Amino acid sequence: MTQMCGIGPFVTIPTMVATMGGPQAMFGWLIGAIIALADGLVWAELGAAMPGAGGTYVYLREAFQYRTGRLMPFLFAWTALLFIPLIMSTGVIGLVTYLGYLVPGVVDANGNTTLIGHVIGIAVVALTVVLLYRKIGQISKLTSVLFGVMLCSVIAVIIAAYTHFHPSLAFAFTPGAFHPFGGAFWAGLGAGLVIAIYDYLGYNTTAYLGAEIRDPGRVLPRSIVYSIVGIMALYFLLQVGVLGAVPWEEVTKSTSIASLVLERSWGVVAAKIITVLVIVTAFGSVFAGLLGGSRVPFEAARDKLFLPWFGKLHPRLHFPHVGLIVMGVITAIGSLFTLSDVINMLTAVFVIVQSVAQVFALIVLRRRQPGLNRPYRMWLYPVPAIVALAGWLFIYYSAGLKPVLLSLAWMVVGIAAYLVWAKVERTWPFGPKEIREQYLTATAA
């Protein structure tokens, strides 16, 4: 939940309201939650059955080894090196944006990050990497503290909004907004869902840490479902509260909406105090994301599918430090771009290779490995899988032509890189397929 919330809603609420043309944006969070929950049930079954470090990498490796060898897990590791750090970059961008409320010169009059702001963003990434250079037990304590700060900041903004709440503002839906032909709600739903699903991302973080969790068959499904439902409630309360405290036309023009709400409700001093908590919350999301994401290339390298140095553990602290450093560098580079560009790009990149492929992986594994130990089985299967698939395809289409083309280009380059690697390693399609069925074998044992 620390990574899911982070800075997301604090920087995207104005964009969401502008995209959907008014207060009807509140329903965009609910529809996004339905897609996230359906996809979360996919993660829950796969993560509980195959609790290995790397999450999706493990699931694609086990499901698609029968027909395409190691192509799909290779492509996931390839894209993960891009989209996971880009998610973290948005947290850094949001952190710097809110810092601009406290420190003049960090952002300009139009809300764009200045050179000083970019330098601060890179420094934040460096600090995060330094703090993650320690054992997982020590990290869990710090993550708990950051989670507490996140809850305080969100709840403070919600309380401030509702102490000066005006229903006439919150529910002043744009006339004709829900008309099935040309209504503002339907016209902006696609772009709104891109924003909403970005704000929900992070419910899968525990799946990346599956190998380091006690009793993953019980912990993973609960953490995923509870996180999505809890964050959905916070987001909906936050969105309605903001709309009831500030006219939606002003919301669309704000770059630090949480600070504006607090300033209107409790004054400048309170606004500055909570802004500090929002900044710490943004830092917490970057911290949690790099913690989980750094495990993905490690698992691929251990299978001799990725560059071998990603598979090395720190000699003293015993964690995958190479992946952490590389993803930290990419996060710093991504923080130099605008928030909307980064969101659209990362969404387009991860949807095809992770989200859509993972739905099919669930179906394939049910057919190929019926004897696999599944501590959790998806409720109402296959309905949630179909809902998740339809939602992801719609979001991919809504991301825009440029991000879609860039994501396809990145995937084509990845396929070319795989073919070169496969030729050297003499694996499929230049050699035999290696059918391992690692978790099915463990189940039998």
| Mean pLDDT over the full length of the chain | 89
The token pair at 329 is 């560098």
DSSP string, 380-425: TTTHHHHHHHHHHHHHHHHT-HHHHHHHHHHHHHHHHHHHHHHHHH
**Residue 288: per-residue pLDDT:** 79
Greater confidence, 288 or 86?
Answer: 86
The token pair at 157 is 């903004």
Average pLDDT of 50-61? 85
Query: How many domains are contained in the chain?
Result: 1
DSSP string, 296-315: HHHHHHHTTSS-GGGGPPPT
pLDDT tens readout for residues 19-49: 999 999 999 999 999 999 999 999 999 999 9
**Residue 384: per-residue pLDDT:** 97
Specify the pTM. Answer: 0.87
Nearest to 292 by CA among 56, 8, 125, 46: 56
- Dist. CA 323–CA 290, nearest whole Å: 9
The answer, yes or no, to whether residue 444 has pLDDT greater than 90, is no
pLDDT tens readout for residues 180-204: 877 889 989 999 999 999 999 889 8
**Residue 212: per-residue pLDDT:** 81
- Dist. CA 129–CA 159, nearest whole Å: 34
122 lies in which domain range?
Answer: 2-444
**Residue 200: per-residue pLDDT:** 93
Greater confidence, 307 or 232?
Answer: 232
**Residue 136: per-residue pLDDT:** 63
The answer, yes or no, to whether residue 6 has pLDDT greater than 80, is no
How would residue 137 be classed by pLDDT, with cut points 50, 70 and 90? low
Q: What are the C-alpha distances in Å from 107 to residues 93, 110, 111?
A: 11, 8, 5
The token pair at 49 is 């059955």
For residue 16, give the CATH number of its domain. 1.20.1740.10
Nearest to 438 by CA among 382, 380, 372, 379: 372
Q: What are the C-alpha distances in Å from 131 to residues 95, 112, 114, 328, 384?
A: 17, 28, 26, 12, 38
pLDDT tens readout for residues 157-176: 999 999 989 999 999 998 88
What three-state secondary structure class fits 50?
coil
State percent of the chain over pLDDT 90. 53
**Residue 146: per-residue pLDDT:** 78
Listed in sequence order, the residues at least 6 apart from 131 whose beta carbon sits closer than 8 Å to its beta carbon are: 142, 287
Q: How many other CB atoms are there within 10 angstroms of residue 270's CB atom?
A: 15
Of 3-17, 112-126, 160-174, 366-380, where does mean pLDDT reach its minimum?
Answer: 3-17
The answer, yes or no, to whether residue 138 has pLDDT greater than 70, is no
**Residue 424: per-residue pLDDT:** 86
Q: Show contacts of 392-396: CB within 8 Å, 24+ apart.
A: 392/35, 392/39, 392/351, 392/355, 392/356, 392/359, 393/351, 393/356, 394/190, 394/193, 395/35, 395/190, 395/193, 395/194, 395/197, 395/347, 395/351, 396/347, 396/348, 396/351, 396/352, 396/356
